[in-house]
Amino acid sequence: MQSSGILVFVETSGGAARATSLELFGAAGAVQNALGPVTALVVGHGIAPAVEQVATLGAERVLVVDDPHCAHPVAAVMARVVLTAWDVVQPALTLLPSTTLGRDVAALVAARHGVPHFADIVSLDVTAEQFLATRPVYQSKLLTTVRASRARPAVATIRAGTYRAPEPSGQQARVEDLTVAFSPADQRARMTRMVEKPRGQVDLENAPVVVVGGRGVGGPEAFAQLAQLTELLGGALGCTRAVSDLGWRPHAEQIGQTGKQVRPRLYLGVGVSGAVQHTVGMQGSETIVVINRDPNAPLVKMADFALIADWNEVVPRLIARLRERRGR
């Protein structure tokens, strides 16, 4: 059977589609004329809200796998789901988010079919003969374009924040359940514990404001003040790897090469030096503000606004001023 169309893997969390997966519909829309219709694959357990949302984002068809086996993000289980959907759709291109899960699943699916795998890409073009994907290399200092013939289907993971999720269209996709037969081998890995973020905390990857504490804040207790500032700004709190390695904050809050990618409207770095492994995770921020006592810190040079000061003098005053303005 000839491959055509695009299969979009939608990762869910707590029944809702993850924002990074919704952005894939922006990517799919950009190459749909060349490749054909979009099929969404929504996977998880108790995912009716995600299905409803995805059905209006430009896909022609939504395949739903709502199964207790898929309640947790286990790569082998999700790969079985994508392979089953692949057999049904025979897509020319399969898109997954460049999340921890998406990256694992994409590799498993591409290896199983022996097809090209474009990892963590920031743009995608399709000609009559080729896929052309661009991806950052050398800690995002360079971009490289990789090509693969269209003679075979391809799999790609897309970096968060690269494409915008489309606005809901008036059109409703056809929604169908997909049955997946899991083998014991698919279920060898089990999730034993899920550590949830505190309730009410804004999701780092989608926050309009991100306040980041670095080693320069001096200790874990400083984060109480940064949390207050974050709350007043309506944002999410992040940290550097130095901070998470010291155990001052959880790894889930780490931003950078080995942490999360953020692209907020406002990034505020407090006591952060701006090592390249950190800046690759925040360089897409619209406005960068930094508080650092070293005028030569790399992040100071990169910032739109820098306060050369001890954070202990600035942050309490910022909090007081914001409280005053918010009438709290």
Ligand X SMILES: Cc1cc2nc3c(=O)[nH]c(=O)nc-3n(C[C@H](O)[C@H](O)[C@H](O)COP(=O)(O)OP(=O)(O)OC[C@H]3O[C@@H](n4cnc5c(N)ncnc54)[C@H](O)[C@@H]3O)c2cc1C
- Asked whether position 242 contacts ligand X by CB under 6 A, the answer is yes
**Which listed range, 29-37, 128-136, 166-174, 213-221, lies at the site for ligand X (CB under 6 A)?**
213-221
Contact 6, 37 (CB under 8 A): yes
CA distance 17 to 2: 30
| Residues in Cβ contact with 223 at an 8 Å cutoff, skipping those fewer than 6 apart | 213, 217, 237, 239, 248, 249
To ligand X, the closest distance from the beta carbon of 298 in angstroms equals 8
Query: Residue 52, Cβ neighbours under 10 Å: how many?
Result: 14
In this complex, which beta carbon is closest to ligand X, that of residue 173 or of residue 239? 239
| Residues in Cβ contact with 33 at an 8 Å cutoff, skipping those fewer than 6 apart | none
CA distance 84 to 104: 17
- Asked whether position 241 contacts ligand X by CB under 6 A, the answer is yes
- Asked whether position 293 contacts ligand X by CB under 6 A, the answer is yes
Q: Which residue has the tokens 């963590």?
A: 120
To ligand X, the closest distance from the beta carbon of 243 in angstroms equals 6
Q: Compute CA 322 distance to the chain's CA centroid, rounded to the nearest angstrom.
A: 30
Which of 123, 134, 277, 283 touches ligand X (CB under 6 A)?
277
Q: What string of H, E and C letters represents the secondary structure of 209-268?
A: EEEEECHHHCCCCHHHHHHHHHHHHCCEEEECHHHHHCCCCCHHHEECCCCECCCCCEEE
Q: Which residue has the tokens 């209006």?
A: 56
**Which listed range, 62-70, 123-131, 172-180, 291-299, lies at the site for ligand X (CB under 6 A)?**
291-299
CA distance 31 to 106: 19
Which of 165, 275, 288, 306 touches ligand X (CB under 6 A)?
275
- Asked whether position 311 contacts ligand X by CB under 6 A, the answer is yes
Which of 38, 73, 271, 306 touches ligand X (CB under 6 A)?
271
Which of 21, 84, 140, 254 touches ligand X (CB under 6 A)?
254
To ligand X, the closest distance from the beta carbon of 165 in angstroms equals 25
Q: Residues touching ligand X: how many (CB under 6 A)?
A: 28
- Asked whether position 251 contacts ligand X by CB under 6 A, the answer is no
Contact 211, 238 (CB under 8 A): yes
Which one-letter DSSP state was computed for residue 121? E
**Which listed range, 8-16, 44-52, 122-130, 239-247, lies at the site for ligand X (CB under 6 A)?**
239-247
- Asked whether position 294 contacts ligand X by CB under 6 A, the answer is yes
**Which listed range, 7-15, 20-28, 54-62, 240-248, lies at the site for ligand X (CB under 6 A)?**
240-248
Q: Which residue has the tokens 């922006």?
A: 26
CA distance 114 to 111: 5
- Asked whether position 101 contacts ligand X by CB under 6 A, the answer is no
- Asked whether position 214 contacts ligand X by CB under 6 A, the answer is yes
- Asked whether position 292 contacts ligand X by CB under 6 A, the answer is yes
Contact 261, 278 (CB under 8 A): no
In this complex, which beta carbon is closest to ligand X, that of residue 27 or of residue 255? 255
- Asked whether position 258 contacts ligand X by CB under 6 A, the answer is yes
**Which listed range, 91-99, 119-127, 148-156, 249-257, lies at the site for ligand X (CB under 6 A)?**
249-257
CA distance 56 to 53: 6
Give the SS3 label for residue 172. Answer: coil
In this complex, which beta carbon is closest to ligand X, that of residue 183 or of residue 296? 296
Binding site for ligand X (CB under 6 A): 214-216, 240-243, 254-259, 271-273, 275, 277-278, 281, 291-294, 297, 310-312
